[in-house]
Amino acid sequence: MAARKIDLERARAALDSQLTELGEHPYDGPAHGAPDAAVDVVLRVYDRGLRPERDIARLAVRHLLERLAEKAPGRTVEVRVPPYAAVQCVAGPRHTRGTPPNVVETDPRTWLELATGRRTWQDAMEAGKISASGARADLSDHLPLR
């Protein structure tokens, strides 16, 4: 699946909306930094025991999935973070029809924690937070992303 380009204006609007809800000042950094800032804000929302707004959660998840696809290019593993996005990555044989043989699926919070190094692959697997099938579905060599 091709990664979609992030609309920076929409990213900034989603970021400012979530910051306002948290009682914080609007984002004042550069537009290209909004996706990284969104990841940090969504994690703060989760840390407070709240649920992030859909647009900013989608932005944060997609941003880090795009980073994974850049770091581990290929089409051997499909990483799914419903309901927001999926990406194909990791070099090796690719599938052409039907369900790919190597699939990783997790929830948005776990994905953000894995991608930022707040949680290890092993810990998430042991906690049952990741569904991984296929011989190449272990992403631990590619995480964290930042």
What is the per-residue pLDDT across 101-116, written as a single tens digit (0 to 9) for each? 899 999 999 999 999 9
Confidence of residue 4 (pLDDT cuts 50, 70, 90): low
- In 22-107, which ranges are continuous DSSP H helix? 34-47, 54-71
Domain boundaries, the chain: 8-142
DSSP 28: -
What is the distance between the terminal CA atoms of the chain, rounded to a whole angstrom?
A: 23
pLDDT, tens only, 41-86:
999 999 999 999 999 999 999 999 999 999 999 989 999 999 999 9
Average pLDDT across the chain, whole number: 91
**Both structure tokens of 129:** 């937070």
**Confidence (pLDDT) at 2:** 43
pLDDT, tens only, 30-48:
988 989 999 999 999 999 9
Indicate the class that CATH gives domain 8-142. Answer: alpha beta
**Confidence (pLDDT) at 7:** 78
Q: Half-sphere exposure of residue 87, counting CA atoms within 13 Å on the CB side?
A: 22
The alpha-carbon radius of gyration of the chain (Å, integer) is: 15
Give the three-state DSSP class for 102.
Answer: strand
